[in-house]
């Protein structure tokens, strides 16, 4: 109050004059302008410092306003983290000496002195010696004096601001107080921005993980309304799920809602449910706040239809393997009596002339015995479990072996087998048992394709030939039928494991997959062409022996 009165007296009293009046008024206006600019700078930092504004922009805005009231030429920011002091920003750009990202050494460092003492330092640049490493920098930049202020947030130092001038400047207590307030506010803003960035990064990582999970994840409120869901859920249901009710979506009775069970027990709930003719595992987990009050439910849904189907197929495959072992055992047991039958038939044949009626009967017994022995031998060949060795072999011979095994059974189902084998085709290097396994599978598939057809003549055509493609010789086995054929939409899938177009219980879906694997192991492949209702043709292509590489 006294100070105010003194100013009034100076301006209007006896001691005043026109000259002193205008001088004092001009001085007051300058002071007021300076105070307003200082308040504006602090206010701008508070309002405009946000995640979208870079620190370079912030320093530029601050620098431009500070220059209106202080003779400054350079402003720089260094941040302290993990016991390192790093130069992060300098304005203007031409005032840069050390590169941005430079880690300041602790020895003879003025900046480190500020960090360690937590006190402001007003430093006059020395022309004759370099007591600090920064002194050399300031001399090179033409800086005469520097004000260095620590940035402190919540009692912890987070960095340091330096304000340099090319003129000799003196800061009074009011100026130093302003700079301290300015730096305190800047420290709060930097720390808030850092924390905000951490939260934003964590949120982004969580959202990316949430979206990337291949199983369905949904977050619902306590009424069952969907609040959030990941890409897998959207892909499965093929429409937007926001605000949809989970019970209505999954056709769950409201009285049996898992959310009610979560509310009552505050424990996870697990069920197996059917969604759109798919079998799914359903898990719901209560989401609790700090007071352990449940406010939402996290739902995890996993489509296990394929898993269950594969498990069933594996069980079926296990059964087939067991049947194969049993068949091999039976074949061994039948070999002994067959040997006796064939031996005795041969001995009796020597006792009768060819004109004798008994000779004809004995000949039939011997022929049937030999056929049985061939079937048993082929059965033993196909049931072998040992590792196969590659050697020279003939595709034609493999065809004859397989036809000797199942040819008669196919013909008994009124199916004609047309055999057109080129006996001049080259040998291949492979395993005849494995090649036979492919042929057997192709013949069985052709037989099954003809089984339910109502046509005058059912035909399976088997042909072997040599072809030249891409300057290589190939041995090609073709198995063609006039059965029901395969739809175009399934042609790309028939070689997938466990995929089958046969009715339930008729096939495992493994035959073609295994056959293709064997063909590829021999350096070949299996091609297919088919037309629905007209039949299919499968072509086994194997490199001729002289063409097959290691």
**Is 550 or 244 the better-scoring residue by pLDDT?**
244
Burial 257-279 (b: 16+ CB within 10 A, else e): bbbebbeeeeeebeeeeebeeeb
Kindly report the CA angle at 447 between 480 and 427, in degrees rounded to 5?
50
pLDDT digit string, tens, across residues 240-263:
888 889 888 888 887 788 888 888
pLDDT at 379 over 80: no
Using an 8 Å Cβ cutoff, are 284 and 307 in contact?
Answer: no
For position 548, what pLDDT does the model report? Answer: 45
Q: Which two tokens stand for residue 528?
A: 């297919």
CB-neighbour burial class of residue 81 (10 A; exposed 0-12, middle 13-18, buried 19+): exposed
Tokens 């209560």 found at? 286
Longest dimension (CA), the chain: 168
For position 453, what pLDDT does the model report? Answer: 82
- Cα 88 to Cα 81, 196, 478, 539, distances in angstroms: 12, 19, 74, 69
For position 63, what pLDDT does the model report? Answer: 84
Q: What number is the average pLDDT over the span 475-502?
A: 79
Burial 19-28 (b: 16+ CB within 10 A, else e): eeeeeeeeee
Q: What number is the average pLDDT over the span 472-482?
A: 92
- Residue 525 pairs in a beta bridge with 541
- pLDDT range class, residue 388, cuts 50, 70, 90: low
Helix (H) or strand (E) holding 367: helix 357-382
CA 238 to chain centre: 20
SS3 at position 379:
helix
* pTM exceeding the 0.75 threshold for the entire prediction: no
CA 100 to chain centre: 37
For position 2, what pLDDT does the model report? Answer: 59
Range name among 41-50, 73-82, 326-335 with the lowest pLDDT average: 41-50
Burial 480-497 (b: 16+ CB within 10 A, else e): bbbbbbbeeeeeeebbee
Using an 8 Å Cβ cutoff, are 540 and 402 in contact?
Answer: no
pLDDT at 387 over 50: no
For position 254, what pLDDT does the model report? Answer: 78
For position 350, what pLDDT does the model report? Answer: 86
Using an 8 Å Cβ cutoff, are 362 and 395 in contact?
Answer: no
Q: Which of 52, 348, 94 is nearest to 193 (CA)?
A: 52
**Is 8 or 214 the better-scoring residue by pLDDT?**
214
**Cα within 13 Å of Cα(34), Cβ side:** 13
- pLDDT range class, residue 308, cuts 50, 70, 90: confident
Q: Can you tell me the distance from the alpha carbon of 37 to that of 40, in angstroms, rounded to the nearest whole number?
A: 5
Q: What number is the average pLDDT over the span 83-109?
A: 90
pLDDT digit string, tens, across residues 5-47:
565 555 555 454 555 656 666 666 666 666 666 666 666 666 6
Using an 8 Å Cβ cutoff, are 224 and 241 in contact?
Answer: no
pLDDT digit string, tens, across residues 391-421:
889 999 999 988 887 888 888 888 999 999 9
- pLDDT range class, residue 385, cuts 50, 70, 90: very low
Q: Can you tell me the distance from the alpha carbon of 136 to that of 130, in angstroms, rounded to the nearest whole number?
A: 6
SS3 at position 394:
coil
Which residue pairs, CB below 8 angstroms and at least 24 apart, start in 375-378?
A: 375/404, 375/405, 376/331, 376/334, 376/335, 376/338, 378/402, 378/404, 378/405
Q: Which of 126, 162, 121 is nearest to 144 (CA)?
A: 126
Q: Which of 303, 288, 298, 207 is nearest to 246 (CA)?
A: 298
Angle at which helix 173-212 crosses helix 18-48, to 10 degrees, equals 20
- Ordered DSSP codes for 471-482: TEEEEEEEEEE-
**Phi, psi torsion values for 62, nearest 5 degrees:** -65, -45
- pLDDT range class, residue 200, cuts 50, 70, 90: confident
Beta strands in 207-277 (DSSP E): 216-220, 226-229, 269-275
Range list of H helices, 414-510: 432-451
Tokens 């072509």 found at? 539
Q: How much of the chain, in percent, has pLDDT values that exceed 70?
A: 82
pLDDT at 86 over 90: yes
CB-neighbour burial class of residue 106 (10 A; exposed 0-12, middle 13-18, buried 19+): middle
- pLDDT range class, residue 219, cuts 50, 70, 90: very high
Using an 8 Å Cβ cutoff, are 509 and 498 in contact?
Answer: yes
Cis before 92? omega within 30: yes
Kindly report the CA angle at 495 between 460 and 546, in degrees rounded to 5?
75
Q: Can you tell me the distance from the alpha carbon of 284 to that of 286, in angstroms, rounded to the nearest whole number?
A: 7
Q: Can you tell me the distance from the alpha carbon of 195 to that of 154, in angstroms, rounded to the nearest whole number?
A: 13
DSSP 528: E
Q: Can you tell me the distance from the alpha carbon of 507 to that of 490, in angstroms, rounded to the nearest whole number?
A: 16
SS3 at position 325:
helix
Q: Can you tell me the distance from the alpha carbon of 73 to that of 372, in angstroms, rounded to the nearest whole number?
A: 107
End-to-end Cα distance, the chain: 105
Q: How much of the chain, in percent, has pLDDT values that exceed 90?
A: 25
Q: Which of 407, 477, 483 is nearest to 435 (CA)?
A: 477
CB-neighbour burial class of residue 97 (10 A; exposed 0-12, middle 13-18, buried 19+): middle
CA 219 to chain centre: 22
Pairing of strands 145-153, 472-481: unpaired
């Amino acid at each position: 109050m006294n100070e105010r009165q003194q100013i009034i007296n100076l301006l209007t009293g006896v001691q005043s004059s026109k000259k002193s009046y205008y001088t004092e008024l001009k001085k007051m206006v300058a002071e007021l302008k300076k105070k307003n600019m200082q308040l504006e700078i602090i206010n701008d930092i508070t309002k405009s410092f946000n995640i979208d504004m870079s620190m370079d922009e912030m320093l530029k805005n601050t620098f431009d306003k500070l220059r209106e009231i202080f003779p400054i030429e350079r402003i720089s920011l260094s941040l302290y983290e993990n016991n390192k002091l790093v130069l992060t920003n300098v304005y203007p750009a031409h005032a840069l000496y050390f590169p941005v990202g430079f880690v300041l050494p602790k020895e003879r460092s003025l900046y480190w002195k500020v960090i360690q003492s937590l006190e402001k330092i007003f430093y006059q640049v020395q022309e004759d010696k370099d007591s600090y490493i920064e002194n050399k920098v300031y001399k090179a930049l033409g800086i005469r004096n520097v004000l260095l202020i620590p940035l402190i947030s919540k009692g912890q130092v987070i960095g340091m601001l330096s304000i340099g001038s090319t003129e000799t400047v003196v800061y009074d207590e009011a100026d130093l107080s302003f700079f301290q307030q300015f730096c305190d506010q800047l420290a709060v803003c930097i720390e808030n921005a850092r924390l905000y960035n951490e939260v934003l990064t964590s949120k982004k990582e969580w959202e990316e993980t949430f979206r990337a999970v291949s199983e369905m994840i949904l977050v619902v409120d306590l009424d069952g309304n969907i609040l959030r869901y990941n890409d897998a859920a959207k892909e499965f249901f093929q429409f937007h799920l926001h605000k949809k009710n989970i019970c209505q979506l999954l056709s769950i009775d409201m009285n049996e809602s898992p959310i009610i069970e979560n509310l009552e027990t505050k424990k996870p709930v697990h069920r197996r449910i059917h969604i759109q003719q798919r079998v799914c595992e359903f898990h719901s987990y209560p989401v609790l706040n700090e007071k352990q009050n449940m406010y939402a439910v996290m739902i995890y849904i996993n489509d296990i239809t394929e898993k269950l189907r594969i498990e069933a197929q594996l069980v079926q495959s296990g059964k087939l393997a067991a049947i194969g072992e049993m068949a091999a055992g039976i074949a061994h047991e039948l070999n002994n009596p067959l040997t006796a039958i064939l031996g005795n038939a041969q001995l009796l044949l020597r006792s009768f002339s060819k004109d004798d009626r008994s000779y004809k009967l004995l000949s039939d017994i011997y022929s049937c015995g030999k056929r049985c022995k061939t079937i048993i031998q082929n059965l033993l060949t196909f049931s072998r479990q040992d590792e196969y060795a590659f050697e020279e072999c003939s595709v034609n011979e493999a065809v004859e072996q397989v036809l000797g095994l199942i040819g008669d059974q196919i013909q008994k189902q009124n199916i004609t087998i047309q055999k057109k084998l080129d006996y001049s085709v080259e040998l291949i290097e492979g395993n005849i048992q494995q090649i036979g396994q492919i042929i057997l599978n192709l013949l069985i598939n052709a037989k099954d394709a003809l089984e339910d057809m109502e046509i005058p003549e059912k035909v399976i055509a088997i042909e072997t030939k040599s072809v030249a493609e891409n300057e290589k010789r190939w041995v090609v086995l073709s198995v063609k039928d006039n059965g029901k054929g395969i739809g175009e939409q399934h042609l790309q899938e028939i070689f997938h494991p466990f995929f089958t177009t046969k009715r339930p219980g008729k096939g495992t879906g493994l035959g073609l997959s295994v056959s293709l694997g064997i063909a590829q192991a021999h350096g070949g492949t299996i091609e297919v062409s088919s037309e629905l209702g007209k039949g299919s043709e499968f072509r086994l292509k194997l490199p001729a022996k002289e063409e097959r590489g290691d």
